Amino acid sequence: MLTLLDEARTIMAAPPLLATPIYHDNVAENSQPVPMLDFSRQFAGLREEILSAIEKVCDSQQFILGPAVTGFEKAAAAACAAPHAVGCASGTDALWLALAAARIGPDAGGSSSDAVITTPFSFFATVSSILRAGAKPLLADIDPLTFNLSPTAVEEVLSSSAGQTVKAVLPVHLYGQCADWDAFAALRQRHHPLLLIEDAAQAFGAAWNGTPAGALGDLAAFSFYPTKNLSAFGDAGMLATLSADFDERARMLRGHGMRRRYYHDEIGWNCRLDSIQAAVLEVKLRYLPQWNRQRRDHAARYDRLFRAAGLAAANVREGIVLPFTDPRATPVFHQYVIRAPRRDQLRQYLADRHIGSEIYYPVPLHLQASLAGLGYKPGDFPLSEAAAAEVLALPIYPEIREDEQQTVVEAIAAFYA
Ligand X SMILES: Cc1ncc(COP(=O)(O)O)c(C=O)c1O
118 binds ligand X (CB under 6 A): no
Of the pair 92, 177, the CB lying nearest ligand X is at 92
Residue from 32, 126, 229, 231 in contact with ligand X (CB under 6 A) = 126
42 binds ligand X (CB under 6 A): no
Reading phi first (left if > 0) and then psi (alpha if -120 to 50, else beta), residue 362 is in alpha
Residue from 42, 202, 241, 330 in contact with ligand X (CB under 6 A) = 202
Report in angstroms how near the CB of residue 212 gets to ligand X at its nearest: 17
In whole angstroms, give the CA distance from residue 303 to residue 320. 11
Using CB atoms, what's the residue nearest to ligand X?
91
Of the pair 27, 172, the CB lying nearest ligand X is at 172
The footprint of ligand X on residues 51-90 (CB under 6 A) is 90
Contacts of range 306-314, beta carbons closer than 8 Å, 24 or more positions apart: 306/338, 306/409, 306/412, 309/409, 309/410, 309/412, 309/413, 311/409, 311/412, 311/413, 311/416
- Binding span for ligand X by CB under 6 A among 68-76, 195-203, 241-249, 375-383: 195-203
- Binding span for ligand X by CB under 6 A among 105-113, 120-128, 293-301, 362-370: 120-128
Residue from 37, 53, 187, 201 in contact with ligand X (CB under 6 A) = 201
Residue from 135, 172, 230, 359 in contact with ligand X (CB under 6 A) = 172
Q: What is the DSSP letter of 36?
A: S
**C-alpha distances in Å from residue 68, one per residue of 16, 45, 62, 156, 409:** 34, 22, 8, 45, 42
Cβ atoms within 10 Å of 243's Cβ, excluding its own: 17
- Cβ–Cβ < 8 Å for 387, 338: no
Say if strands 207-208 and 195-199 run parallel, antiparallel, or are unpaired: unpaired
Report in angstroms how near the CB of residue 166 gets to ligand X at its nearest: 20
The footprint of ligand X (CB under 6 A) covers 90-92, 122-123, 125-126, 172, 199, 201-202, 223, 225, 235, 237
